């Protein structure tokens, strides 16, 4: 029997827009096990999608290890995996 690794779900268009906003430096996340995402200072309308992006390891607080106090808003960044998703979206035929 082989062990299978769960593959992250392909982000939908809304999630891709969230990732692009974070890539552009416009995102902040709350310090929490369920981080809320804020874009341009406004709460993201789909926090379920924001939580999913964080749980999939596509975005995180910019300061890992000491992100901030619980509930504090800190800059968000894409992980290398998140950067790869955005790059694949921008260049879908690149292999």
Helix 13-23 to helix 47-55 angle (10° resolution) is 70
Q: Which two tokens stand for residue 7?
A: 């593959």
- Regions of the chain short of the pLDDT cut 50: 1-7
User: Which pLDDT does position 71 carry in this prediction?
Assistant: 84
User: Which pLDDT does position 66 carry in this prediction?
Assistant: 67
**Dihedral angle, C-alpha 35, 38, 44, 47, nearest 10 °:** 0
The structural domains of the chain, with segments of one domain joined by +, span 13-90
User: Around Cβ 65, how many Cβ atoms within 10 Å?
Assistant: 5
Q: Which two tokens stand for residue 55?
A: 């749980």
């Amino acid at each position: 029997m082989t062990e299978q690794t769960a593959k992250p779900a392909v982000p939908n268009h809304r999630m891709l827009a969230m990732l692009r906003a974070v890539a552009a430096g416009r995102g902040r996340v709350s310090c929490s096990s369920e981080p809320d995402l804020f874009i341009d200072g406004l709460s993201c309308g789909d926090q379920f999608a924001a939580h999913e992006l964080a749980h999939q390891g596509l975005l995180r607080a910019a300061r890992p290890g000491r992100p901030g106090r619980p509930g504090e808003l800190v800059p968000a960044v894409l992980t290398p995996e998140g950067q790869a998703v955005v790059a694949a979206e921008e260049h879908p035929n690149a292999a």
